[in-house]
Amino acid sequence: MNRLPAAANVKILLGALIVLATLVAAVSVMKLDSFGNRGNSIGRKFTDEITELARIDPNLILYEESSIRISTGFEQSQAIAADSEGRIYVVGDNALRVFTPSGEPISRISLSQTVLCVEPGNDGRIYVGTRDHVEVFDTQGQRIAAWQSLGDNAFVTAVAVSGDDVFVADAGNRIVVRYDLSGKIANRIGEKDLERNVPGFVVPSPYFDLAVSKDGLLRVANPGRLRVEAYTLDGDFEFSWGKSSVAVEGFCGCCNPANIAMLPSGGFVTSEKGLARVKLYDSQGTFVGVVAGPDQLLEGAAPYVAVLPEQHRVGGFDVAVDPEGRVLVLDRAKNAVRFYTRKKAE
């Protein structure tokens, strides 16, 4: 049997080693993720689930957007309201703008500071909430009164007028203050008091809304408890509805609903931040359907996880309902008022 010389063995061994090293190097280069396209190795479960949450059954969407759209003219629109004649009030930057029901501008009132909420009264007065107090204007834009400050921690986020009462939601102090029309404090509502069965408001972020219902009870969104609570005007806690859930029937995230409005029928419109959804509940708090989901509110943009500050503003759209039952959504990302009307039964 012929045997190869030792030198030939070494050459073969070296050749094999070089081929092996070349193969390992080639595989390593191919597996290299220089641009980070593959991301981390844990998977995309969270992102996928968010996208899934944003999908809404089309059969649940009961409203459609009308062709009217009002540009607010603000760089930072804050809040919206409608009066009994359908006029639309929008505050933002340092001004209040009033529009006709069809979107024609009526007036612009300059304000000395940023206002966060607005509510037209039945007496022709307009109530606006600044950071720590309420100011009252007439329709000509003249300031009639500036009520006393609610303190350094105050952060006024909503005003509601009913008869001779004005209710002010103060997110900073986590309380609702009831005033008379002259600005005198009548009582405070919602301070934690276990003996009176008042659970206390939990307001993790500056979204704290209220409305007065036709049944004479005050409805307050308690966002940290993910529900809407009903109080007598004297501050007795009556009942609540709403639950924490990622499903469309519930309120998603840490603190929702961000905003609420009353329908002429006695039902409720709610607006959520984070996952932008505007939904409909009946007077008992039973889920009825959806006015607009992320697909409608974001206008074709793929639902995404809000990370950047400008994306945060996509949620928390303020809502109002006009006498015709149209749902007005203040799109804070586009600084526009969008109108949603109930779809006609097919």
Binding region for other proteins (CB under 8 A): 34-36, 39-42, 46-47, 49-50, 53, 202, 204-205, 224-226, 244-246, 252-255, 274-275, 305-309, 312
> Least distance (Å) from other proteins to the CB of residue 143?
27
> Least distance (Å) from other proteins to the CB of residue 94?
17
Complex with other proteins: residue 4 or 308, whichever CB lies closer: 308
Complex with other proteins: residue 202 or 298, whichever CB lies closer: 202
Complex with other proteins: residue 270 or 339, whichever CB lies closer: 270
Complex with other proteins: residue 39 or 124, whichever CB lies closer: 39
> Least distance (Å) from other proteins to the CB of residue 159?
23
d(C-alpha 304, C-alpha 189), whole Å = 37
> Least distance (Å) from other proteins to the CB of residue 256?
9
Q: How many CA atoms lie within 13 A of 131 on its CB side?
A: 8
Complex with other proteins: residue 232 or 245, whichever CB lies closer: 245
> Least distance (Å) from other proteins to the CB of residue 139?
34
Complex with other proteins: residue 29 or 308, whichever CB lies closer: 308
Complex with other proteins: residue 30 or 42, whichever CB lies closer: 42
The amino acid occupying position 314 is: V
Asked if 226 and 251 count as a contact pair (C-beta separation under 8 A), the reply is yes
> Least distance (Å) from other proteins to the CB of residue 245?
8
> Least distance (Å) from other proteins to the CB of residue 34?
8
> Least distance (Å) from other proteins to the CB of residue 285?
19
Complex with other proteins: residue 204 or 323, whichever CB lies closer: 204
d(C-alpha 175, C-alpha 1), whole Å = 101
d(C-alpha 154, C-alpha 173), whole Å = 6
